[in-house]
A and B are shown apart, each in its own frame.
Chain A
Amino acid sequence: MEQKIDMIVNRLPAKTWNRLSVNQAEIKDLTADGWTKPAVTVRYPKAEKPVVKELTAEQQDSLYKKMEEIHTGMGAEVSRLKPEDATDICVETAGHSEETVPNDVQTVLVFDYSSQKNSYQDVKIHAKAGENVTVWTVVRSEKDAEGKAVLRTLMQAEENAKIRLVQVDLLGNRMELFNDIGAESGKQAQIEVVQLFLGAEKIWAGSYATLTGEKSHLQLDAGYYREKQQLLDMNYVAQHIGKKTESGMNVGGVLQDASKKVFRGTIDFPLGCAGAKGDEMEDVLILGEDAINQTVPLILCAEEDVEGNHGASIGRPADEVLFYLASRGLSEEDACNLLARAKLEALCNRIGEQEIAEQAENWLLEVTGDEA
């Protein structure tokens, strides 16, 4: 008999009223067995390449093994789905000496979840001191593919290193995506995350950045387009451990029809992170009559010398904007579609890889219509 498991993910770092149903997300009746891995294609947009290896747990060195301890936004439960014989894709900068130039490398990882019901993949990214790595991860499937797709990304940026992670979701509308991120930064390291959630019927997404090193920095920008009955459930945390660390989280998107989005965003200032700054902003355009938006933006503070700000703007387009667009000949529907597309195209422009950016823009055109 098929074994089923329930999972609790995206736990809010500080609970609030249970009646609001935002303290956590429960995923019930998950098939426990038979998970496999997606098909992966690796390409390199430029000549300078990182070291990319597919390694089993036994083949990984102590650094990669230690990366398993990094907190992730969805939580440790996600790894319960990992098949025993799984291989992780490990991306690493090669390192440099005093005589050589630091590496600045890029890779694209395309995961195709079409062929299997449920697939799981871990990606580990390690930027050595002073080096830069950009990784694009694209999750895709055939439009009518069904199943669950897990992508868990763990990142370690050493001193003065920079990791740029760009994630684009182009899954078919019958897929469910679990997209989890954990990151840890060394002194003056930078982590940049750009995410675009366009496909999949249901998405659970998490990100947890532990800013350990002094003056390390996180910038996370996420956008989404949800329609019909689609769901997006997010839990994003920036934890400031090191002094003078900085974080910025901007999340925005569009809710059409009867779609639902939950955003939990936390800036955590534990004692000792003097001089830290955290900013969080959410901008939600609600266009669907039956859409549901839940937003829980937390600031947890045990340190005096910090600055934390969060803001949220939720609702329909301003009347003045619609009036202006109407004066330019656009119907309200076309105007709303234009605004929805404009909101996400700004993120498409930040993808920074032509082929992926085109795929994302084409997807957007398809869902928002191109009449406007």
Chain B
Amino acid sequence: MKEKTYVDDVDRSIYDIRNEEKDVYRVQEGLDASIVEKISKEKNDPAWMTLFRLQSLQIYNELKVPDWGPSIDGLDMSHIATYVRPNTKMSAKWSEVPEDIKDTFEKLGIPQAERKSLAGVGAQYDSELVYHNVREEVAAQGVVYTDMESALKGEYADMVRKYFMKLVRPSDHKFAALHGAVWSGGSFVYVPPGVSVEIPLQSYFRLNAPGAGQFEHTLIIVDEGADLHFIEGCSAPKYNVANLHAGCVELFVKKNARLRYSTIENWSKNMYNLNTKRAMVEEGGVMEWVSGSFGSHVSYLYPMTILKGDHSRMEFTGITFAGKGQNLDTGAKVVHIGKDTSSFIGTRSISKDGGVSTFRSSVQVEKSAKNTKSAVSCQSLMLDDKSRSDTIPAMDIRTADADIGHEAKIGRISDEAVFYLMSRGLSEEDARAMIVSGFADNVSKELPLEYAVEMNNLIQLEMKGSIG
């Protein structure tokens, strides 16, 4: 009889730091028009935004909860506080950030990463940003990187109004509508034509408050011929009440521009992560997604790319690691509209210790998308027989002039591969550990070195047991 390989849970001690709530402003739990109006007033929204929020709330009330994904029965909106503001203002200096909040970000390594390898950082704590800064030389190129609230009211107000929730409309699904009603925080990025931002920008979202929701909005416009790498990180300490994350990311990649959007998501295991990300790519544009999903209790996460312009292309590289108590439903969507467009979706998923991992995708090729090329490859690894791994891809092809490929594999660690590595001198434990690490390589090799190290730390896998 084979002894089961045991893979340890991700070490979450760093992420589980909890700060006591001090002098925070917290709206009452639940969701109704008075709460939405209160948030809007607190944030000093322009009138159109208040109206937008209320219309979104109406849509939210009309839409049903999805009937196709993991259960979200444990999420009770009447027990979620949709707005929690820390008792501080946004600063461009870490020294001005309250000590406990600063300590948390220090432990998460954000200021250090900023010094070493980032062009700018935004740090959100609960519903508001507490720190935002961009390097002078990057700002001098005309790159705008600011918080959404400032953008909404300042110089870029018209631009924000033009693009805000035009790609992800509140009517798309219930949680997009929820986002429209109670959104707060997030970042606005504008990269002018022809500007190449050499090192990445990063936003980090930290949800500290128990029983709260985080609804940050990220809006990025990469203008013609420009180039940007944006990194998003998120985490929260674990509580025994449900937390909710329903962020929204809207990305506009203009003609011949390129955007890489990397995410390392490590929410706590009481989190419902119902996030929506979407990109619109114009002629010759390139959208690259790198996505690592490790945390949360339940995730619905499928970044979507609309290849509107001719010759535009997208690539999605993702890994999902579902452990005990997790049901992570992740994947990607692409819609081909322009001619000569191409897409590649490559994912890996690992299920262990009762975790449920579902890969879900859709490839839609419209009639106009002549000479489309698309390939989807998903591989799933089952580490024990308590877990579950499902693959649910869909393809909808409406042109004769397309070349569409799809492949999926599911299985366990191959005995032959272990045997081969053992014949090269590795112990069985090391061999299995190496295979699992190698399995995650598709994402780690796409990340900047510092983040690849962070991700590898995140899936620090201790392999025990074995002789079969």
Give chain A residues whose Cβ lies under 8 Å from the Cβ of B397: 284, 286, 292-295, 314-315
CB <8 Å contact, B395 and A310 = no
Pick from A18, A295, A302: contact of B68, CB under 8 Å: A18
Give chain A residues whose Cβ lies under 8 Å from the Cβ of B405: 311-314
Residue of B with least CB distance to A302? B388
**Interface stretch of the complex, out of A9-17, A141-149, A183-191, A360-368:** A9-17
Given contacts A304-B385, A304-B412, contact A16 B395 (CB under 8 A): no
Given contacts A304-B382, A307-B411, contact A296 B392 (CB under 8 A): yes
CB <8 Å contact, B385 and A303 = yes
- Number of residue pairs A-B, CB distance < 8 angstroms: 140
CB <8 Å contact, A271 and B385 = yes
Residue of A with least CB distance to B172? A19
Give Cα A208 to B358, complex, Å. Answer: 22
Given contacts A294-B395, A295-B394, A310-B406, contact A288 B400 (CB under 8 A): yes
Kindly state whether residue A60 has any CB partner on chain B within 8 Å.
Answer: no
Give chain B residues whose Cβ lies under 8 Å from the Cβ of A271: 385
Kindly state whether residue B409 has any CB partner on chain A within 8 Å.
Answer: yes
Kindly state whether residue B396 has any CB partner on chain A within 8 Å.
Answer: yes
Kindly state whether residue B73 has any CB partner on chain A within 8 Å.
Answer: no
Kindly state whether residue B407 has any CB partner on chain A within 8 Å.
Answer: yes
CB <8 Å contact, A17 and B410 = no
Pick from B385, B394, B401: contact of A16, CB under 8 Å: B394
- A25 CB to closest chain B CB, in angstroms? 15
Residue of B with least CB distance to A272? B385
Give chain B residues whose Cβ lies under 8 Å from the Cβ of A18: 67-68
Q: Which residues of chain B from 399 to 457 have any CB-CB distance to chain A below 8 Å in the complex? A: 399-412
Given contacts A17-B362, A310-B408, contact A287 B400 (CB under 8 A): yes
Give Cα A27 to B197, complex, Å. Answer: 55
Kindly state whether residue B384 has any CB partner on chain A within 8 Å.
Answer: yes
Give Cα A15 to B70, complex, Å. Answer: 10
CB <8 Å contact, A298 and B392 = yes
- A64 CB to closest chain B CB, in angstroms? 35
Kindly state whether residue B360 has any CB partner on chain A within 8 Å.
Answer: yes
Pick from B384, B395, B401: contact of A293, CB under 8 Å: B395
Pick from B68, B387, B391, B408: contact of A304, CB under 8 Å: B387
Give Cα A308 to B388, complex, Å. Answer: 13
Give Cα A22 to B399, complex, Å. Answer: 18
- A125 CB to closest chain B CB, in angstroms? 32
Residue of B with least CB distance to A19? B362
Given contacts A16-B68, A20-B362, A316-B402, contact A297 B408 (CB under 8 A): yes
CB <8 Å contact, A316 and B400 = yes
Residue of A with least CB distance to B405? A313
- B372 CB to closest chain A CB, in angstroms? 9
CB <8 Å contact, A301 and B410 = yes
Kindly state whether residue A290 has any CB partner on chain B within 8 Å.
Answer: yes
CB <8 Å contact, A308 and B411 = yes
Kindly state whether residue A291 has any CB partner on chain B within 8 Å.
Answer: yes
CB <8 Å contact, A315 and B385 = no
- A364 CB to closest chain B CB, in angstroms? 20
Given contacts A17-B68, A301-B380, A304-B382, contact A292 B407 (CB under 8 A): no
Kindly state whether residue B21 has any CB partner on chain A within 8 Å.
Answer: no
Residue of A with least CB distance to B409? A309
Kindly state whether residue B193 has any CB partner on chain A within 8 Å.
Answer: no
CB <8 Å contact, B410 and A306 = yes
CB <8 Å contact, A315 and B409 = no
Kindly state whether residue B383 has any CB partner on chain A within 8 Å.
Answer: yes
CB <8 Å contact, B410 and A308 = yes
Kindly state whether residue B266 has any CB partner on chain A within 8 Å.
Answer: no
Give chain A residues whose Cβ lies under 8 Å from the Cβ of B67: 15, 18
Kindly state whether residue B389 has any CB partner on chain A within 8 Å.
Answer: yes
Give chain B residues whose Cβ lies under 8 Å from the Cβ of A290: 367
Kindly state whether residue A58 has any CB partner on chain B within 8 Å.
Answer: no
CB <8 Å contact, B385 and A305 = yes
Given contacts A23-B68, A307-B411, contact A299 B402 (CB under 8 A): no
Q: By the criterion of a CB under 8 Å from any partner CB, how many residues of chain B are at the interface?
A: 36
Kindly state whether residue B393 has any CB partner on chain A within 8 Å.
Answer: yes
CB <8 Å contact, A295 and B390 = no
Q: Which residues of chain B from 112 to 155 have any CB-CB distance to chain A below 8 Å in the complex? A: none
Give chain A residues whose Cβ lies under 8 Å from the Cβ of B399: 286, 289
Give Cα A289 to B401, complex, Å. Answer: 8
CB <8 Å contact, A286 and B400 = yes
Give Cα A269 to B385, complex, Å. Answer: 11
Give Cα A318 to B456, complex, Å. Answer: 41
Interface centre among A295, A303, A313, A315 (most CB of B within 10 A): A315
Q: Digitize B208-227: 1 where CB-to-A-CB distance is under 8 Å, 0 elsewhere.
A: 00000000000000000000
Kindly state whether residue A300 has any CB partner on chain B within 8 Å.
Answer: yes
Q: Which residues of chain A from 1 to 54 have any CB-CB distance to chain B below 8 Å in the complex? A: 14-18, 20, 22-23
Q: Digitize A85-108: 1 where CB-to-B-CB distance is under 8 Å, 0 elsewhere.
A: 000000000000000000000000
Give Cα A274 to B398, complex, Å. Answer: 39
Give Cα A16 to B70, complex, Å. Answer: 11
Give Cα A15 to B391, complex, Å. Answer: 11
Give chain A residues whose Cβ lies under 8 Å from the Cβ of B409: 307-309
Interface centre among A269, A287, A294, A299 (most CB of B within 10 A): A299
Residue of A with least CB distance to B361? A16
Give chain A residues whose Cβ lies under 8 Å from the Cβ of B68: 15-18, 23
Give chain B residues whose Cβ lies under 8 Å from the Cβ of A300: 390-391
Given contacts A306-B411, A308-B410, contact A315 B403 (CB under 8 A): yes
- A192 CB to closest chain B CB, in angstroms? 24
Give Cα A183 to B309, complex, Å. Answer: 48
CB <8 Å contact, A291 and B400 = yes
CB <8 Å contact, A14 and B390 = yes
Give Cα A17 to B358, complex, Å. Answer: 13
Interface centre among A14, A20, A284, A314 (most CB of B within 10 A): A314
CB <8 Å contact, B407 and A305 = no
CB <8 Å contact, B382 and A296 = no
- A363 CB to closest chain B CB, in angstroms? 23
Q: Which residues of chain A from 308 to 336 have any CB-CB distance to chain B below 8 Å in the complex? A: 308-316, 318
Give chain A residues whose Cβ lies under 8 Å from the Cβ of B382: 301, 303-304, 306
Give Cα A88 to B399, complex, Å. Answer: 43
Given contacts A15-B67, A289-B400, A312-B406, contact A297 B393 (CB under 8 A): yes
Given contacts A17-B362, A22-B394, contact A299 B408 (CB under 8 A): yes
Give Cα A309 to B410, complex, Å. Answer: 7
CB <8 Å contact, B406 and A311 = yes
* Interchain residue pairs A-B with the least CB separation, the first 7: A15-B68, A312-B406, A314-B404, A308-B410, A304-B385, A304-B382, A299-B391
15 A-B pairs with C-beta separation under 8 A: A286-B397, A292-B397, A294-B396, A295-B394, A297-B408, A298-B392, A300-B390, A304-B382, A305-B412, A308-B410, A309-B408, A310-B391, A313-B404, A314-B402, A315-B402
**A286-B402, A298-B390, A312-B395 given; 20 more Cβ-contact pairs under 8 Å:** A16-B392, A22-B396, A288-B400, A294-B395, A295-B395, A297-B393, A297-B406, A299-B380, A302-B387, A303-B382, A303-B385, A304-B385, A306-B412, A307-B410, A307-B411, A309-B408, A309-B409, A314-B405, A315-B402, A315-B404
